[in-house]
Amino acid sequence: MSGYLVIIRSGAKVNKERLQNLDAAMAVVERHGREIEDGASTRPAGGTLLRRYEPVQQVAGRIELRGPRHLRAGVDVRGDGSTEAFTGRLRRTLVTQGYGESAYQALRRELSA
């Protein structure tokens, strides 16, 4: 694969963008992630017979990044607008955020290491 593929999932919509370098791809990941964050507002789901899922437990959107050498990473936007960065595809590993660091900054740091 040449370049990077960004897959944006928000609700039932899926969009894809191809980019040539990691910096451009990360800019697209952050731009779409911030858009989903602004619109994220889910209600608790489930209840009496089913397990109750709070907004922080629900994924409102996911932005995935695929690239050379089997790169798989991305950001989950939760129902309350919070974000979590991850690496991997089948076995996802959360990226630890430093103090005052956004999920996007943490993902950039992880991918540039």
Yes or no: say if 80 and 70 are a contact pair by the CB < 8 Å rule: no
Segment 4-31 mean pLDDT:
93
Percent of the chain with pLDDT over 90: 60
Yes or no: say if 36 and 10 are a contact pair by the CB < 8 Å rule: yes
Percent of the chain with pLDDT over 70: 90
Predicted pLDDT at 107:
96
Q: Taking all residues of the chain, what is their mean pLDDT, rounded to a whole number?
A: 88
pLDDT digits (tens, 9 = 90+) for 26-66: 999 999 999 988 876 666 676 666 777 777 777 889 999 99
Name the residue ranges covered by the structural domains of the chain: 4-31+59-112
For the chain, the residue count is 113
Predicted pLDDT at 23:
94
The answer for residues whose C-beta is within 8 angstroms of residue 6's C-beta and 6 or more apart is 16, 17, 18, 19, 25, 28, 29, 32, 63, 64, 65, 66
Segment 97-111 mean pLDDT:
94
Predicted pLDDT at 106:
95
pLDDT digits (tens, 9 = 90+) for 73-86: 999 998 888 899 99
Yes or no: say if 32 and 104 are a contact pair by the CB < 8 Å rule: no
